[in-house]
């Protein structure tokens, strides 16, 4: 698994420090509110679990599973809801937790769905952002790291469902997907 990584971009320690920084900001900004924190599965599962532990205001969590990449390094352009939320977002302050924004298609679709369902506010926190790849205009409210235009894996992010368990984020060697 490690042999398939061209370069480690951010270590487990660097990611941990950034997650705590984001958690502190969110705790201050959501003071007095009770946000509904939504994890976008599968990629965001590790970030979500690390992040909520650093947020000090009362909150609720729920999960939504969407997919558009499949076993590819390019978005299919079609965002599919595989699992919907269990609770209503009506009147809620929704905080969407994403691992990465690449083309922006997944999030622009989700934001639209959650706004149309009558949420009070929809805010996005993403750990990684790859602005060079955007096909729709979208700027996250909170972000951890800006990434170069390379396909990355680890800390929840996959290629063909592999590599999610790497504790760091790294660039996948192109030989792996150009085979
Ligand atoms: O900005 P975009 O181009 O839409 O890309 C970002 C989305 O793509 C990945 O999910 P994916 O569809 O691979 O599903 P997964 O989380 O189950 O891996 C990632 O976790 C984001 O949700
Ligand atoms: O660079 C990426 N890696 C893994 N999954 C992704 N989904 C969008 N971009 C990426
Ligand atoms: Mg994926």
Encode the chain in three state secondary structure: CHHHEEEEEECHHHHHHHHHHHHHHHHHHCCCCCCEEEEEECCCHHHHHHHHCCCCCCCEEEEEEEECCCCCCCCCCCCEEEECCCCCCCCCEEEEEEEEECCCHHHHHHHHHHHHCCCCEEEEEEEEECHHHCCCCCCCCEEEEECCCCCEEECCECECCECCCCCCEEEECHHHHCC
Reported pTM: 0.96
Q: Residue 157: pLDDT above 90?
A: yes
Is 86 one of the annotated active-site residues of the chain? no
Interface pTM, i.e. ipTM: 0.98
Has residue 108 been placed in a domain? yes
Indicate whether 148 belongs to any domain. Answer: yes
Residue 143 within a domain: yes
Q: Quote the number of domains for the chain.
A: 1
- For ligand 1, is residue 129 a contact (CB within 6 Å)? no
Predicted confidence at residue 152, as pLDDT, reads 98
Report CA(119)–ligand 3 centroid distance (Å).
27
Closest-CA residue, ligand 2 atom 8, reads 102
HEC sequence for 58-104: CCEEEEEEEECCCCCCCCCCCCEEEECCCCCCCCCEEEEEEEEECCC
116 falls within a domain: yes
Domain range for 126: 2-174
Instruction: Kindly report the protein residue whose alpha carbon is nearest to atom 3 of ligand 2.
Output: 152
Q: Would the CB of 40 count as within 6 Å of ligand 2?
A: no
Better-predicted residue by pLDDT, 71 or 160: 160
Pick the catalytic residue from 50, 99, 102, 158: 102
**Would residue 25 count as lying in a domain?**
yes
Residue 155 C-alpha to ligand 1 middle, in angstroms?
A: 13
- Tell me if 107 is assigned to some domain: yes
pLDDT of residue 119: 98
Is pLDDT above 80 for 179? no
- The CATH number of residue 45's host domain is 3.40.50.2020
Starting from the CA of residue 78, give the closest ligand.
1
106 pLDDT more than 90: yes
Residue 144 lies in a domain: yes
Nearest CA to ligand 2 atom 6: 157
Residue 179 lies in a domain: no
Given a cut of 90, whether residue 144 has pLDDT beyond it is yes
Task: Inform me whether the pLDDT recorded for 126 exceeds 90.
Answer: yes
């Amino acid at each position: 698994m490690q042999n398939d990584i061209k370069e480690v971009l951010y270590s487990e320690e660097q990611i941990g420090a950034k997650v705590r920084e984001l958690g502190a900001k969110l705790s201050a900004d959501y003071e007095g509110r009770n946000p509904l924190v939504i994890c976008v599965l599968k990629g965001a599962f590790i970030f979500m679990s690390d992040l909520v532990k650093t947020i000090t205001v009362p909150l609720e969590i729920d999960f939504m599973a969407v997919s558009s990449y499949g076993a590819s390094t390019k978005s299919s352009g079609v965002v599919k809801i595989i699992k919907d939320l269990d609770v209503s977002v009506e009147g809620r302050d929704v905080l969407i937790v994403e691992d990465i924004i690449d083309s922006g298609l997944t999030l622009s679709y989700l934001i639209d769905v959650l706004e149309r369902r009558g949420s009070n506010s929809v805010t996005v926190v993403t750990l990684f952002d790859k602005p060079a790849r955007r096909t729709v205009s979208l700027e996250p409210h909170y972000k951890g790291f800006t990434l170069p235009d390379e396909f990355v894996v680890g800390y929840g992010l996959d290629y063909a469902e592999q590599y999610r368990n790497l504790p760091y984020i790294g660039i996948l060697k192109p030989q792996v997907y150009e085979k």
